[in-house]
Chains A and B, each alone.
Chain A
Amino acid sequence: MSSPALEAVDLSKTIESGERALTILDGIELSLNTGDTLSIVGTSGSGKSTLLALLAGLDTPSRGKLSLLGREMSDLDEDARAAWRSGQVGFVFQSFQLLSGLSALDNVTLPLELTGADLGEARETAQRLLEQVGLAHRIKHTPRQLSGGEQQRVALARAFACRPKILFADEPTGNLDGATGAEVIDQLFELNAEQGTTLVLVTHDEDLAARCARRTRLADGHLREH
């Protein structure tokens, strides 16, 4: 397992806000092999979510290069990156980003629909995933009718849906109690073990960080491994 799943060189993000530029990330260097598990910790506002979005190809860096699953991202336009992500990259947003008009089931079905899967099969898969995160009885409910933790689990099920090669998760257990959190963590690492999914996790959770093979801390725009 030596093919790099992710390779970041001098990745930086500067935001022009008002008169002075705000440098959030400054020369991030990171290399991940397929099947690696990485945790990122850092204080609030240190730029963890920003980094995760950059690594997943959701955002463009101000400087530096990123190669994702063997493909140079900086050469690609928005569309080509979306196409590359589709079916290969999973993402759990810190604020879940569930569609409020859709039921839990439809939210999880969505990424499968995008890959062109058969609708009936896609629904079955989604249902199974929701059962797996313990929401079998809530599949018809919309996000507004679900608690924060339940929404988080829907977001996780959605990220699992395409069996991604690499999965980015922003505080995946942030809203969960110890027991439920542990269950979810188990599922994440099962995916890693069974399918070789590369995991990149932002977390405050010591237990979760401890289970990752590689641990990093983001501070002052720099990423340090320890």
Chain B
Amino acid sequence: MSTDRTSAVRLAWRQIGRSRRDGSAWILLIALVVAVAAVGAVSQMTDRVRAGMERQGAATLAGDLELELRAPLDEKRAAILDEIGVAHHGVTVFPSVVSQNDDEITLVSVKAVEDGYPLRGEVTLRRGDPGSPTKTVTRAPEPGTAWVAQRILDAQQLAVGDTLHLGDARLKIAAVLVIEPDRGQGFANIAPRVLIRDADVAGTGLLGPGSRANYDERIAGEPAALEQVRERLEPTLQPGERLRTPAESNRALARALDRADVFLDLAALVAVVLAGVAIALTARQHASSRLDEIALLKTLGAARGLIARLMAWQLVFVGAIGIGLGLLVAWLAQLGISQLIARAFEIQLPTASWLALWPAAATGAVLLAGFAWPALAQARATPPARVLARSLAEQRGRMWLIYAAALASVALLAAAATRDITLTAWVVGATIGGTAVLWVVALGLLAGIDRLRPRIGNRGGPGLRLALSALARRRQASALQIVAFGIGLTMLFMLVIVRGDLLAGWQADIAADAPNRFLINITREQQPAVAERLQQAGLDADFYPLVRGRLTAVDGTAIEDDGELAEQAGELTRRELNLSWIDDLKNDNRIVAGQWFDADDTGKPRMSIDTSVAERLGVDVGDSLTFDITGTPVTATIESIREIDWSSLQANFYVLFAPGVLDEFSATYITSLYVPDDAHGVIGALVREFSNISVIDIAAILEQLTTLIDRLSLAIELVFGFTLAAGLVVLLAAMQASRAERLREAALLRALGARSSWLRQATFGECLLIGLCASLLAAAIAQVTAIVLAVWVFDLGYAWRWPLWLMAISIATAVIALSGLASLREVLRQPAWASLRASD
């Protein structure tokens, strides 16, 4: 090391040591520690919450991954799974009938599972009558026994302990199956379940060649191992085989997870922006306190290069200390959070590694570079004359550079943290727009206050008068403070509002009156009568006609003839699809392309399809699809593409024809409705009257979704609470930036004869106005951003949340005003002379 370089390091170190007393270095350090800790803890937390959520989702699949097969798993691929070291076992599902009661044949769906089922989640069983206590287990039924759905027992007049005739096998009914984790969703699985062991399948004699069975391999393991499974199994997939995650197989879950995921990203982003605000505020102050020292060094003959190195080393030292401490705090916070999450999700998560904290460390470094360096670089350009005559004004021209650097680093961090460009764009956009709006409005407001001041005069007492004059005097500084608080509060408010929308959206999904029964197979003739019975019972029901058809051609190309197309279409061609028609677009459907049918379309060969169908087949508005309906080909042009909110649990259809097109085919009707507990009798009577109608009970699915959403909500609340707390700490740290000046002024005012009560009123009033101004603007900007996010990113409904506004604004204002008061305490405690001497 050259002597020059050594001296820069030594000087820098000594300067840091010296600045122990000057406050601004402390504030920079505290801001850095809080920023790094907040980002670290939030990102750690979101990682763990995400892991928890995935586990939760895995329960709905009884595994982390599902390999859909056309035959039991072959040995080669089983060997691959064993080699990777993941747990796996097969699940076979096939239809059958039970007929132990002479005049009743019950269609059932048999699920045969291996030892070790379920890999994730738990099975709920009951031994007694409906209403008696249930218990949960995490094992498969014993060989020779079966767990059977209540509906089968009712229909066949069986009870726990009886023997079930399943094909040639005789199985002991060991328990009533209440909920199985991997029940599936919607009305695809309409038949009631019989859960048996794989060893008993052969004995039933039901699985001969050509029988219709679904084979699944369920896989569970650590994320890294699962990644490996994907990599190695994907190339081996044959047509009709699929590898799916819980989210891919459960749409309601996927949506809930997606939204939660975006929210967690948002929370992390907010932490970054808040940290940036704090550092920007303090770095500016730090730089101005360095100006004199730099000027002095220059007059003593220090070269520009030396000073640059000096500043750089100073940043390195402050950065190292700040980031180190911040990481420590984050790690400690994360330990506590893990406990909470483990309890909330009832899972044990692996302890976090220090390495996982790198984003926080990077945030610290980027923030320091982006926000602090420009301010210090500006200080470097200070002319030595400053030390001789302080009459030279501070250079202010390069402030735009600081803001540009600040913004660039926020955008960079945001993009890195979320890997979500849309969300980042919105947040950065809100930050830029918000800053501009805040700045303009704040300056305007302060100018207005200055104008009004002479007119208010002494009417509000000396406290108010001093408060107003303080605001008017420090117009630039006050405006800066309003902008900083405003940005910070905007972020926090946005989080509050989005959280509210998100939770409300979820609550709507699982609203108490969400449909819990489907009635299917209603004939056209029966429909009016059924509708009347339901209406008499006070039950709301919409009926949808249903015609079944098989997709045979896309744009005139027969799928049979086109191997590639057949593979693309997959499941869509293998089974018949439910085709329907309605006049008006349903609430849970949204047109994403083309136009919904109008009166002109009636009877014309037009259709509207779901986005997933469009993506699968690679078709767009204007293309045509051909369906085979009871032997008649029907071709129609796609007029619109819809996105369906499957989480509504309403009856929905991939393919809707224009009204009138399918009139010639015989249709059955389907309805979904909410049946309260005390109205079971109505449905029972209905089924007795129209014996062909089937009832599907999805209460169990609803219950699963409710549990899931309850836990997701809890996770969201946890992260939210932490970000909120971190945000407040950051804002308070920023508040400290103006403390020194405030103290000096208070001390002088006291020497000039101001009473404590005036000073208190003045400070309270000043901070109150700043807080009110910042929080009002922040609430407005946050609401607008939240609406945009709700509509474009979260796909949620939104609401103006006035009570929330009121609460957020008053809390923020009170906190700012009270912290201003708190900083006065020191001045009020001691004689004016002591404060003045200390501030000199």
Contacts and interface: CB of A to CB of B under 8 A. Distances in A.
Nearest to B836: A97
A89 B840 CA distance: 21
Interface in B725-777: 741, 744-745, 748-758
Interface string B459-493: 00010011001000110010000000000000000
Contact of B752 (A78, A86, A100): A86
B831 A58 contact: yes
B391 A144 contact: yes
A111 B752 CA distance: 6
Nearest to A119: B454
B831 to A, nearest CB: 5
B753 A59 contact: no
A114 B458 CA distance: 10
Contacts of B393: 144-145
A137 to B, nearest CB: 14
B67 to A, nearest CB: 70
A99 B457 contact: no
Contacts of B465: 113, 116
Given A102-B473, A113-B469, A119-B453, A78 B389 contact: no
A82 interface: yes
A91 interface: yes
Interface string A90-119: 010101010111100010001101111011
A79 B752 contact: no
Given A111-B753, A114-B752, A144-B394, A101 B741 contact: yes
B748 A113 contact: no
A79 B457 contact: no
Contacts of B755: 79, 82-83
A97 B751 contact: yes
A139 interface: no
B333 to A, nearest CB: 38
B830 to A, nearest CB: 8
B651 to A, nearest CB: 68
B800 interface: no
A147 B754 contact: no
Contact of A78 (B473, B756, B840): B756
B754 A86 contact: yes
Nearest to A54: B833
A83 B748 contact: no
Interface size class on chain B is 35 or more
A120 B457 CA distance: 9
B832 interface: yes
Interface string A126-161: 000000000000000000111100000000000000
B753 A114 contact: yes
B474 A101 contact: yes
B834 interface: yes
A102 B748 CA distance: 13
Contact of B390 (A79, A102, A144): A144
A129 to B, nearest CB: 15
A60 interface: yes
Contacts of A83: 753, 755
Contacts of B834: 59
Contacts of B836: 58, 93, 97
A111 B831 CA distance: 18
A58 B751 contact: yes
Contact of B753 (A60, A82, A118, A144): A82
Given A87-B753, A146-B391, A101 B840 contact: no
A53 interface: yes
A176 B389 CA distance: 15
Contacts of B457: 118-119
A145 B392 CA distance: 6
| Highest count of chain A CB atoms <10 Å: which of B465, B474, B755, B833 | B833
A142 B443 CA distance: 20
Contacts of A113: 465-466, 469
Contact of B744 (A58, A99, A144): A99
A204 interface: no
A106 B450 CA distance: 13
A214 interface: no
A111 B748 CA distance: 10
A97 B837 CA distance: 10
A59 B831 contact: yes
B585 to A, nearest CB: 61
A82 B832 contact: yes
Nearest to B835: A58
A222 interface: no
A200 B462 CA distance: 30
Contact of A114 (B474, B749, B828): B749
Interface in B272-326: none
A146 B465 CA distance: 27
Given A86-B754, A144-B390, A145-B393, A58 B833 contact: yes
A215 interface: no
A84 B758 CA distance: 15
Contacts of B744: 99
Contacts of B477: 101
Contact of A110 (B390, B741, B749, B756): B749
A33 to B, nearest CB: 23
Contact of A106 (B389, B394, B473, B756): B473
A85 to B, nearest CB: 5
B476 to A, nearest CB: 8
Contacts of B454: 118-120
Contacts of B474: 101
A73 to B, nearest CB: 11
Contacts of A146: 391
A108 to B, nearest CB: 11
A82 B752 CA distance: 7
Contact of B391 (A101, A102, A145): A145
B473 A101 contact: yes
Contacts of A145: 391, 393
Nearest to B475: A101
A52 B469 CA distance: 30
A87 B393 CA distance: 33
B754 A82 contact: yes
Contacts of A118: 454, 457-458
B355 to A, nearest CB: 47
A85 B753 CA distance: 5
Contact of B756 (A79, A101, A102): A79
Nearest to A158: B752
A100 B473 CA distance: 10
B458 A116 contact: yes
A60 B833 CA distance: 9
A53 B458 CA distance: 30
A150 to B, nearest CB: 8
Nearest to B476: A101
Nearest to A98: B748
A82 B828 CA distance: 11
Contacts of A101: 473-474, 477, 741
Contacts of B391: 144-147
Contacts of B756: 78-79, 82
Nearest to B456: A119
A113 B394 CA distance: 29
Nearest to A90: B752
Contacts of B748: 97, 99, 110
B840 A116 contact: no
A111 B462 CA distance: 12
Q: Which 6 A-B residue pairings sit nearest by Cβ, starting from the closest?
A: A86-B753, A59-B833, A58-B833, A53-B833, A85-B753, A111-B752
19 contacts: A53-B833, A58-B751, A58-B831, A58-B832, A60-B831, A78-B750, A78-B831, A79-B757, A83-B753, A83-B755, A85-B751, A89-B753, A91-B751, A100-B741, A106-B469, A110-B749, A114-B752, A119-B457, A144-B390
Given A101-B473, A116-B458, 19 more contacts: A53-B833, A58-B836, A59-B831, A59-B833, A60-B831, A78-B756, A78-B832, A86-B754, A87-B753, A97-B748, A99-B745, A100-B741, A113-B465, A114-B462, A114-B466, A114-B758, A116-B462, A116-B465, A145-B393
